[in-house]
Amino acid sequence: MGFAGLRGAFCGAIALAAALAPSLANALSGEEQAALEHITAKLASVQTMDGEFVQYNPNGDQVQGKFYIARPGRVRFQYAPPVTLSVIADGKSVLVFDKKLQTYDIWPLSQTPLRLLLEDNLNLVASNKVTRVGVAPDLIEVEMHDDTRFSSGTLNLIFDAKSFDLRQWTVTDQQGLQTMVALYNVETGKKLAADLFKIDYQAATNAARENH
């Protein structure tokens, strides 16, 4: 998988974004404001989450795997074969590890879209990151603008209108290419092993030395 594919996989798996757009708090209807309040409360109540995901890439490829989230700061997306990628955040950094190629790419967590999903005190109502809210009978859509060092584009989060659970998200990059990720078999509140979120910095350092 080349850099474009790696970037697409990374963005698709973890694109829950940050933004510089003005706050919509004063422009929201009562229904939209209430929806954001419910979603914020639901996300705040979830400290751990795990399940499976299906990712639809801009080129039509479909990949899948398992994900694990422990807020604040930790996440793992483990892609199923034949994809050999793992995406891991340990609270400080984000690692994209390709087991087949033995490559380690590390970014500061603060410079990736992951930071929003993993924030400990996430408040969508007060946030200046939300650019649009749509409320339908069966779903709620929250649009955010991503403007990070890693990527830039639009993020659309889809929540269940009754349970306020996160169901899927779609990332649209600056070129208009879309990557969609759907979550299923999701469980919350389980104790997750600390090793799931461990980054082997020594192995990454050794790999960097061998490549130079």
CATH number at residue 163: 2.50.20.10
Between residues 144 and 187, the one the model is more confident about: 187
pLDDT in tens, 125-179: 887 778 889 999 999 999 887 666 555 677 788 999 999 999 998 888 778 888 8
- What domain count does the chain have? 1
The model's pTM is 0.80
CA distances from 205 to 81, 100, 153 (A): 26, 17, 31
pLDDT surpasses 50 at 19: no
Structure confidence at residue 163 (pLDDT)? 94
Determine whether 39 is exposed, middle or buried from the number of CB atoms within 10 Å of its CB (0-12, 13-18, 19+): buried
CA distances from 196 to 88, 137, 173, 182 (A): 8, 37, 29, 21
Range of the domain at 75: 3-210
